[in-house]
């Protein structure tokens, strides 16, 4: 399986993911263009896991161990 495009289920919703999928940062109010590749993933597993929510965020909104602000606070 390649990581340019794939589908996954996150919070009960099917979404398109992969570095070939254009997107916008999921931080409320941010309009930074990103893709849904692993570099912008909150956590370690697409779809979410104990390390992150599985959302996709720009570099300004990913912290520490590639986590969004909410997940980084929860891990602290």
Q: 43: buried, middle or exposed (CB in 10 Å: 19+, 13-18, 0-12)? A: buried
Beta strands in 1-76 (DSSP E): 6-10, 13-24, 33-36
- Provide the whole-model pTM: 0.92
10-41 pLDDT per residue, tens: 989 999 999 999 999 999 999 999 999 999 99
Residues 6 or more apart from 52 whose CB is under 8 A from it? 41, 42, 43, 44, 45, 66, 67, 68, 71
């Amino acid at each position: 399986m390649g990581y340019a495009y794939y589908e996954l289920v996150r919070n009960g919703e099917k979404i398109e993911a992969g570095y070939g999928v254009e997107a916008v940062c999921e931080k409320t109010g941010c309009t930074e263009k990103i893709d849904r590749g692993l570099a912008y993933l909150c956590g370690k597993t697409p779809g979410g896991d104990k390390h992150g929510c599985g959302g996709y965020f720009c570099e300004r909104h990913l912290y520490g161990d590639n986590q969004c602000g909410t997940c980084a606070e929860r891990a602290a």
